[in-house]
Amino acid sequence: MPISYKKQEIIDRIEKASDDMSNFYKQNFVNYQGKTKDTKDYYTEVIAKWLIDHFYLFNEISKITRGSSYKVDTHDGETQREISNREEERIALEMFKQNNKHIFGEIIDYQTPLKNISADDAGKIDLLAYDGQVLRILELKKPDSKETMLRCVLEGYTYLKTVDIGKLIKDFNLPSGTKVLASPLVAVGSKQEEEMNEDRPYLKNLMGKLNSKVFYYDINGNTYKFTVKV
């Protein structure tokens, strides 16, 4: 039987982890399923409400400026060394190779690096998409991902705060002042979609404050189809 926690136990973990907001999204409790054993609140709702109440802490996420370009020349969809065994990276590559305009615009890059030096503690942006006005950092999750929607949202937003937005825009030759947002990209029928269909007002409130719109994908044959729900 899964271990359950009281609400205050979760809050204690949140407060401790908030000392390092750049790695907050990686904490195990962000992926806890179910509800607190005393107040019967979803764990993610407790976390989301706390983050709303301490929203200023997102400004403590450390920015990393790359000396090299964010635009990697070998990201052509064909270079063999870019093909990973990780399912999400392979899906991202296939989406990029479709070379079509989607509901969020055209996918212009995949696995965009955030690190400046190898010692930097930062991941890679799964996908970058541009619609002529907005550049979106898309945090992709595979269809059977067990991660919570909260984890998806926080990971994408952390990358948004980590990247040097001005340099990112310049490196991809986009207009100065281009708006940059972060969004989850999850599968139709996924655990994340299930959560979005449940009563989770604090999660949705937090997503609104972060301008984090969810996009969904499905696959028809070899073609990925994308949708958004209002």
* Stretch 88-116: mean pLDDT: 91
For residue 46, give both structure tokens: 């407790």
Distances (CA, A) of 148 to 12, 80, 85: 20, 32, 23
Q: Could you count the other beta carbons within 10 Å of the beta carbon of residue 11?
A: 16
Residue 79 has pLDDT above 70, yes or no: no
Averaged pLDDT score across all residues of the chain: 92
Residue 169 has pLDDT above 90, yes or no: yes
CB-count exposure of residue 158 (10 Å: 0-12, 13-18, 19+)? buried
Whole-number Å distance between alpha carbons of 153 and 27:
14
SS in 3 state form for the chain? CCCCCCHHHHHHHHHHHCCCHHHHHHCHHHHCCCECCCCCCEHHHHHHHHHHHCHHHHHHCCCECCCCCCCCCCCCCCCHHHCCCCHHHHHHHHHHHCCCEECCEEEEEEEEECCCCCCCCCCEEEEEEECCCEEEEEEECCCCCCCCHHHHHHHHHHHHHHECHHHHHHHCCCCCCCEEEEEEEEECCCHHHHHHCCCCHHHHHHHHHCCCCCEEEEEECCEEEEEECC
Q: Could you count the other beta carbons within 10 Å of the beta carbon of residue 119?
A: 6
Q: 20-75, pLDDT tens digit by residue?
A: 999 999 999 999 999 999 999 999 999 999 999 999 999 999 999 999 999 987 76
Whole-number Å distance between alpha carbons of 187 and 173:
30
* Stretch 169-179: mean pLDDT: 96
For residue 195, give both structure tokens: 């959560």
Residue 1 has pLDDT above 50, yes or no: no
Of the candidate ranges 26-40, 80-94, 103-117, 213-227, the one whose mean pLDDT is the lowest: 80-94
pLDDT of residue 184: 98
User: pLDDT grade, residue 122 (50/70/90)?
Assistant: confident
User: pLDDT grade, residue 78 (50/70/90)?
Assistant: low
Give ∠ CA 68-69-70 in degrees, rounded to 5.
120
Distances (CA, A) of 166 to 133, 159, 170, 178: 15, 14, 6, 9
User: pLDDT grade, residue 77 (50/70/90)?
Assistant: low
HSE at residue 96, side-chain half, CA atoms within 13 A, is 24
Place of tokens 């340099």: 167
User: pLDDT grade, residue 222 (50/70/90)?
Assistant: confident
